[in-house]
C-alpha cells in the first residue's frame, strides 16, 4: 500500500471514471483534479485547515451544537420515556450547519423545524442514487465528451431513467447553492471586513480565508472562479456526508454498548464541569479519543478507493507469496491502465495487523500500547496507523476538522441525552460512502431511542 498511496502515487492515480464523475457532480474542485493541477489546489487549501484555524472553530461548533441540543430537548422533554428519533437526519443537519457556518460563513438550517434544507436532502440522496445507477454510473462520467454543453444537457434531460433525472436534480441543487454561496462571499469580501462583521462566521470561516489567500497568491498559484466554486460543493459533500455517517455509527455503537456510553459520558462531564470544553481539553480526553479512533477503524465511512496505473509498474509485496509452481513471488508486475483496489476497511480490520479481535469494537485498545504488528505494518495513512483518511498527496485534507466535529457533537449530546437501539432493523449499505437504512429501504435513516440523561440540567 505504501507504494500505491505514497511512493508511486503519481503512477497509481485516481481512476479516470472517479475524477470525471466528481467533476460532473461537484465541479473542478479538489476531488476532481490530478497531478500538478491537484497539487496547486492543495497548496492553497492546506493552510486553511491548520490547527490554528481549527481552534477558532470551537465557539462556532459549540453554538451550532447547542441548537442541536435544544432541538432534541423539544422532542423528548415531557414525554413518558425515550422517543424514537432519526439520528442520521439530525447528524446530517448538524454537520451541514457546521460546515456551513465554520467553513463557508453561511447558515443552511437553524435546526428548529422537523424538515431540513432541500440542500441536505439532495446531498443525503446522492450516494443511494449513485448506488442504484449500477453500470450506468460508469457511463455517465463520459457524457462530457459528447458534443456541446447545450447538447449534453438536452441528452441528459431526455434520458427516461428516474434515477438519472434524480441525480440531475441533486447535482443542479448542489451547483446552484454553491454558486450562490460563492457569489455572496465574494461580494462581501470586496466590500471589506466591515461588511462581514454581522455575517455568519464574521469573515473567519474557511472560505473567507481561502478567498483572501487566493487574492494574495501569485498569478501562477491563483485558482480560477470555477475551481473556487467547485471547492464549495466539495467542502460541503466531503465534510457533511462522511462525518454525519461516522457520528451516526458512533451513536449506534454507544447504544449497543451502554457501559461504554456511560464511561464516556462520565469522562466528558468530569472534564466539562457544566461548561463547553475548550480545544486543548477536548483533544486531551483519552476515552473520547479512543471511542472516535476505534469507530473510524472498524467503520470507516469510505471502504475502498480505486487507482489506475498511468504507466507500467512493479509493486513490491510486504510478504512473499507462493506461485502455482512453488516459487516465491516478492513483487508483482502491474501493466499500464490496470485498476487497483485499495481496501481501506480490509486494512483497518486485518487480523494479522490488529490481532484476533480486529473485528470487535474495543475502544480500550487505544488506551494502552498497540501491538507491535501495527507499527511494523507501516500503514501509509495520515491518522493513527489507519487508512480511514488515506495518505500521500490525496489524503483527506479536512481530517482534523472531521475529528473535532465528532468530538464536539458527542460531548454536547452525551451530557444531555441517553441513546438506545430502536426495534427497527438498521442496515449499513456499502457505496462510495457507507450509509444506513431501515431494512431494505432506499432512503437513508437511523432511528434510535433518545431520552433525557437523568443528571442533566434539562432533566433536573
Given a contact cutoff of 8 angstroms between Cβ atoms, the answer to whether 61 and 102 are in contact is yes
Yes or no: say if 305 and 382 are a contact pair by the CB < 8 Å rule: no
Buried b (16+ CB within 10 A) or exposed e, 141-156: bebeeeeeeeeeeeeb
Residue appearing with cell numbers 431540513: 116
Intra-chain end-to-end CA distance of the chain, in Å = 53
Alpha helices in 134-194 (DSSP H): 136-139, 149-158, 162-191
In 25-118, DSSP assigns E strands to 83-86
Is 396 assigned a ligand-binding role in the annotation?
yes
Supply 149's cell numbers.
454543453
The angle subtended at Cα 33 by Cα 30 and Cα 36, nearest 5°, is 105
**Cα 406 to chain centroid, rounded:** 11
Q: What does 261-276 look like in DSSP terms, one character per residue? A: HHHHHHHHHHHHTTSP
Q: Tally Cβ neighbours within 10 Å of residue 1.
A: 20
**Cα 4 vs. chain centroid, distance in angstroms?**
22
Q: 12 — phi, psi (to 5°)?
A: -95, 80
Q: Which residues are annotated as a binding site?
A: 396
Q: Which residues are annotated as a binding site for heme?
A: 396
Amino acid at each position: 500500500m505504501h507504494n500505491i498511496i505514497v511512493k508511486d502515487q503519481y503512477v497509481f492515480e485516481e481512476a479516470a471514471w472517479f475524477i470525471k464523475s466528481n467533476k460532473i457532480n461537484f465541479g473542478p474542485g479538489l476531488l476532481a483534479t490530478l497531478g500538478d493541477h491537484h497539487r496547486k489546489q492543495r497548496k492553497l487549501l492546506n493552510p486553511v485547515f491548520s490547527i490554528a484555524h481549527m481552534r477558532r472553530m470551537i465557539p462556532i461548533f459549540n453554538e451550532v451544537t447547542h441548537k442541536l441540543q435544544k432541538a432534541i430537548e423539544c422532542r423528548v422533554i415531557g414525554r413518558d420515556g425515550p422517543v424514537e428519533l432519526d439520528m442520521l437526519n439530525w447528524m446530517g443537519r448538524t454537520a451541514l450547519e457546521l460546515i456551513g457556518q465554520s467553513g463557508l460563513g453561511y447558515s443552511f438550517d437553524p435546526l428548529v423545524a422537523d424538515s431540513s434544507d432541500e440542500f441536505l436532502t439532495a446531498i443525503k440522496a446522492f450516494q443511494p442514487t449513485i448506488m442504484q445507477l449500477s453500470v450506468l454510473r460508469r457511463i455517465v462520467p463520459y457524457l462530457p465528451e459528447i458534443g456541446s454543453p447545450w447538447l449534453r444537457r438536452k441528452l441528459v434531460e431526455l434520458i427516461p431513467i428516474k434515477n438519472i433525472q434524480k441525480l440531475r436534480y441533486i447535482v443542479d441543487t448542489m451547483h446552484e447553492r454553491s454558486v450562490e454561496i460563492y457569489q455572496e462571499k465574494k461580494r462581501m469580501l470586496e466590500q471589506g471586513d466591515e461588511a462581514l462583521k454581522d455575517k455568519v462566521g464574521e469573515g473567519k470561516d474557511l472560505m473567507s480565508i481561502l478567498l483572501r489567500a487566493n487574492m494574495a497568491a501569485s498569478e501562477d498559484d491563483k485558482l480560477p472562479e470555477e475551481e473556487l466554486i467547485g471547492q464549495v460543493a466539495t467542502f460541503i459533500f466531503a465534510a457533511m456526508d462522511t462525518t454525519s455517517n461516522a457520528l451516526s455509527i458512533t451513536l449506534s455503537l454507544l447504544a449497543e454498548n451502554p457501559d461504554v456510553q456511560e464511561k464516556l459520558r462520565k469522562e466528558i462531564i468530569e472534564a466539562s464541569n457544566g461548561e463547553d470544553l475548550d480545544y486543548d481539553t477536548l483533544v486531551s480526553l483519552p476515552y473520547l479519543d479512543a471511542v472516535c479512533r476505534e469507530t473510524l477503524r472498524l467503520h470507516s465511512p469510505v471502504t475502498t478507493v480505486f487507482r489506475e496505473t498511468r504507466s507500467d509498474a512493479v509493486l513490491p509485496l510486504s510478504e512473499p507469496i507462493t506461485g502455482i509452481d512453488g516459487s516465491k513471488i516478492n513483487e508483482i508486475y502491474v501493466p499500464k491502465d490496470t485498476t487497483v483496489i485499495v481496501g481501506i476497511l480490509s486494512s483497518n480490520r486485518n487480523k494479522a495487523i490488529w490481532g484476533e479481535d480486529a473485528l470487535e469494537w474495543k475502544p480500550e485498545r487505544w488506551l494502552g500500547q498497540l501491538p507491535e504488528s501495527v507499527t511494523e505494518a507501516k500503514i501509509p495513512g495520515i491518522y493513527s496507523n489507519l487508512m480511514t483518511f488515506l495518505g500521500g498527496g490525496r489524503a483527506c485534507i479536512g481530517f482534523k476538522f472531521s475529528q473535532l466535529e465528532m468530538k464536539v457533537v458527542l460531548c454536547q449530546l452525551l451530557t444531555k441525552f441517553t441513546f438506545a437501539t430502536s426495534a427497527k432493523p438498521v442496515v449499513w449499505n456499502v457505496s462510495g460512502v457507507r450509509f444506513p437504512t431501515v431494512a431494505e429501504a432506499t432512503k437513508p435513516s437511523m432511528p434510535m431511542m433518545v431520552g433525557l440523561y437523568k443528571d442533566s440540567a434539562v432533566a433536573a
